[in-house]
Copies of this chain bind each other. A is one copy, B any other.
Amino acid sequence: MIPVTRPGRKRSEESRQAILTAAAELVAEVGYAGLSIEGMAARSGTGKQTIYRWWPSKADVLLEALAEKADLHIPIPDEGSYAADLRAFLTASFALGRTPQVIAVLRALMAEAQINPEFGVRFRAGFLHRRRDALGVLVDRARARGDLPPVPRPATVADLVFGLIWYRVLATRDPIDDDQIDELVTLLTGAD
């Protein structure tokens, strides 16, 4: 058994919060490209070393700041049918991305994940997989009910749902209207 109580000063929760807050404020003010560790340290009144000690990159700070405020595991209670479950999930997901600040951070993190492969691994594990798993719960539930149409296959459902969401966020950049939720539900449940 490892002695968990190490000697020395404890990590400062105050500094941690100050850094997360500074990161969120700065990215809103100067954009992700203008965000720097140096700037975060200055704004938060901490030292650069304190940031480097706990986070590997500026993207990881943002990821933690995001996780702090938005629970990514939004559980979907059983709504009775696959269609109802799906509609609930989509509505909740779109609500998550309705705040421009969150969208901006998501765009930046997805971008960083492409450019910095190590962060990519962490971003997939810490964000993308969690969202995918949340959807997986619904699909499994539907499968158990025998509610699932033959096309698309369960594995493809996530690709279509998240593909559409991310494509709108990253490429077309206009918000998803509610009509599209109905359209998607219809398409995926095989209803007419």
Is there contact, CB below 8 Å, between A167 and B171? Answer: no
Provide the residues of chain B in CB contact with A164, threshold 8 Å. Answer: 156, 159-160, 163
How many A residues, CB 8 Å from partner? Answer: 36
Tallying the copies of this chain within the complex gives 4
Residues of A near any B CB (own CB < 8 A): 31-33, 107-108, 110-117, 124, 128, 151-153, 156, 159-160, 162-168, 170-172, 180, 183-184, 186-187
Provide the residues of chain B in CB contact with A165, threshold 8 Å. Answer: 163
With contact pairs A152-B187, A156-B180 given, residues A115 and B32 touching in the complex (Cβ less than 8 Å): yes
Closest-by-CB residue of B relative to A185 is: B151
Closest-by-CB residue of B relative to A156 is: B183
Is there contact, CB below 8 Å, between A166 and B166? Answer: yes
